[in-house]
Amino acid sequence: MKALSQKRRHPLAAIALLLMGLLLTGGLYAVATTVNQAKADTTSFSANDAEEGGKLFAANCATCHGMGASGTKDGPSLVGVGAAAVDFQVGTGRMPMQMNGPQAEKKPKQFNDEQTHELSAYVASLGAGPAIPEEHLLDEKGDAANGGELFRVNCAMCHNAAAAGGALTRGKFAPALADVSGKHIYEAMVTGPQNMPVFNDSNVSPEGKRDIVTFLKTIEANGSPGGADLGALGPVAEGLFVWVAGLGVIIAFTIWLTSRTS
């Protein structure tokens, strides 16, 4: 017992305990991350899909992203980004980029659905990452009220409370979300494209993401019940419009009156 007591008082005992605590914490975090990733990475592709996707990648994407998608000075590594990131970026036409700029902008897509699927398969084969969402998460039958609350808490500061988009710094912007497919909305949440943060399942559950998609599709279908939405920029823009338009009418009416009396 005396020998054990002396070891506990050894100067290195505190350092050893600290290292053990760090190793234990790191191990638990790695296990938790692996479990979450395994849940996310459920999309399966055939070996032929990955092979054909590799050919497409070498011919169209390797110039910027490097052979094996290892990255270059012109484009980041794609190892571990997952199929969802490729499906979003290629499926919305953001990739390949048309030109260098603050961020990749949506444009007509270069690859058809089959080619996009193959490119997604190839990148997914390089490392685990978020998968393309399953159909039941995109049925737009979630809780729109809960989705609206989640959207206002997590997304409205950039995308506007009415999902009309907004400006960010240095020429960047959060795009409007009208006419965006539910699949691409979901993929954007799990991959965090451009300046968007990643909302993993710990931040917003899959059911929560489903509710957000339902909310966005609901307000898109309902339109603006109050008439012209003026960009859905809120009471400041609406007040300015009324002030300018009303003042313009008054000035025009005044000019008309003076011209009549003269």
Residues tagged in the binding site annotation for heme c:
61, 64-65, 155, 158-159
Whats the size of the chain, residue-wise?
A: 262
C-alpha distances in angstroms, 13 versus 2, 3, 19? 16, 14, 10
Enumerate residues 6+ apart whose C-beta is below 8 A from 233.
160, 164
DSSP 166: E
Q: Which of 65, 95, 107, 88 is nearest to 198 (CA)?
A: 88
Instruction: Give the Cα separation of 156 and 164 in Å (integer).
Output: 9
Instruction: Give the Cα separation of 138 and 188 in Å (integer).
Output: 13
Instruction: Give the Cα separation of 181 and 193 in Å (integer).
Output: 15
Instruction: Give the Cα separation of 21 and 251 in Å (integer).
Output: 75
72: which strand partners?
A: 75
Place of tokens 């000075």: 73
DSSP 133: P
Q: Is 132 exposed, middle or buried (0-12, 13-18, 19+ CB in 10 A)?
A: buried
Instruction: Give the Cα separation of 121 and 119 in Å (integer).
Output: 5
Please report, to the nearest 10 degrees, the dihedral formed by the alpha carbons of residues 173, 139, 216, 175 taken in order. Answer: 10
Q: Which residues are annotated as a binding site?
A: 61, 64-65, 155, 158-159
